[in-house]
Amino acid sequence: MSLAHSTGPERWPTHRLLSIAARLDELQINRNLTQLGLTKASLDIMESVAELEPVTVSDLAALLCVSKQSLGRVVRRLQGLGFLSRERAGDRRYTNIRLTHNGRKVLATAETLVQRLKRSRPDTESALRLDLERYIRDLRM
């Protein structure tokens, strides 16, 4: 079936709408972040670290709803780029993650790039945002 003959989004189930909207949003953001060596996933991690630092991989994985293994790979890549640092916590079993000075600068630039994308659709964005916040809170219960 060609795209021209497929049914429109108005007939899709909610899970498909969310998945496709998320992929399209991620693709658009990724196109704008590649110049910084970042992806949408790495931006999510850096923003979360900035909010919570110091933070452990376990706490970060739980917040972002990803496995510790996949999160660890991205954290190692960001550490290699000089954006994150890892240090042993008081309890030697845990490692705390923090943004580096360079990581803070890159994060500020990335957030500015993403904000420019959102300015083109502010009304739609804010209404969707409120609905998604409620939806996520309901799903986490």
pLDDT at 4 over 60: no
Closest CA to 114 of 52, 42, 64, 55: 42
Is pTM, for the whole model, over 0.75? yes
Q: The domain 9-140 is classified under which CATH number: 2.60.40.3880, 1.10.10.10, 1.10.10.410, 1.10.1060.10?
A: 1.10.10.10
Domain extents in the chain: 9-140
- How far apart CA 18 and CA 50 sit, in angstroms, is 26
pLDDT at 104 over 60: yes
pLDDT at 122: 65
pLDDT tens readout for residues 35-64: 999 999 999 999 999 999 999 999 999 999
Give residue 139's pLDDT band: very low, low, confident or very high (50, 70, 90): confident
